[in-house]
Amino acid sequence: MDKSILNQFTSYVEQLRNTECSQKEKITYFQHIAECIMSPGLAGHINYATHINTATTVLLLFCEDLDPVVRMNAEENLNRIFRALEKTRVSRILMDLYGEIKRNGNQRSLRICLNLFAYYSPQIRERNIKWYAVRLLPCLQTIAQRKETQLCETLCEFVKNFGKYLQMGLTDSESCKLFESSMANIGVECAVKRRCSAQNCISLIENSRNKSLMAKHGLSKAFEFLLVDQQQHNVVGVLGFLRLLLPLIIHGFSTDCPDDCDDGHSTQAAHAGVNKGKAHNTRPTPTMTTTTTTTTKTGAGAGGAHTTQA
């Protein structure tokens, strides 16, 4: 391994952390850090995973900078690093992103981590699904309590991927805990948070093991909220949730509960059986049609010849 690359990488990180740099210097250091991480010389180092974590932490730190140009370049170089490592080090990427999500820091860096984790979540190995699901559960419960609207929207998109790829690693009780943490925000004053919380609940219902049971639980919780608090924002939030939930109960889960759900299929089958029985027991009665023919007789008159005598 070329030690000069490691020394350069360390110096760039220290200068960003410990000195006041101009906008141009920050952008230059970001590019150098990304190039060092992607270089084959540093990839052979025994602590390469630690260096990846260091680069990720530093770049995410400057994703919170007040200067939008600095933020944009920091995120761009972070994406460069991840694109270069996603085929060989995706587990390292996911672990670093999980650490930042757990830290629950600035909303800008947190939103970036949520988006990136959601993007790489399909590549999580099956044996690691439960590990990530259980550890992300308290993180999501904590993030759900935050009030930033953009963060709420990002969390909403994250929960869709979480439900699709990781929720299978949770037990039913753990899924209910996460569901109730989203339901608790159904009646808040912020319209964006109400809408996102309702969508989070729907995503968790759609990806749960027992969809019909979870949907009924959500329906009972919605009615409970209406009975307890009838303020305008609470009523509007519950109605918005019911607008998304009721079509799923009526159409989406008919096959999950054939015994206790009146979805119309059993009624149609019963009608079909009755009609079939009637078809066997009823004999067709022939219909007789009588036709009347009217015969018209035509008579011919005889004409006589008159004889005139002279």
Q: Is residue 141 part of a domain?
A: yes
Residue 7 has pLDDT above 50, yes or no: yes
pLDDT confidence bin for 297, thresholds 50/70/90: very low
Residue 128 has pLDDT above 90, yes or no: yes
Please give the average per-residue pLDDT across 232-261, as a whole number: 78
Give the Cα-Cα-Cα angle 120, 34, 56 (nearest 5 degrees): 50
Q: Is residue 267 part of a domain?
A: no
Q: Is residue 69 part of a domain?
A: yes
Q: Is residue 306 part of a domain?
A: no
Q: Is residue 226 part of a domain?
A: no
Range of the domain at 113: 3-185
Task: Count structural domains, the chain.
Answer: 1
Please give the average per-residue pLDDT across 217-222, as a whole number: 93
Per-residue model confidence (pLDDT) at position 11: 93
CATH, residue 153? 1.25.10
Please give the average per-residue pLDDT across 9-18, as a whole number: 92
What is the rounded CA–CA span in Å between residue 169 and residue 134? 7
Q: Is residue 24 part of a domain?
A: yes
Q: Locate 241 and state its tokens.
A: 């949730």
Q: Is the dihedral of CA 67, 68, 73, 76 positive or negative?
A: positive
Q: What is the pTM of this model?
A: 0.79
Residue 64 Cα distances to 7, 60, 129, 244, 268, angstroms: 26, 7, 30, 35, 60
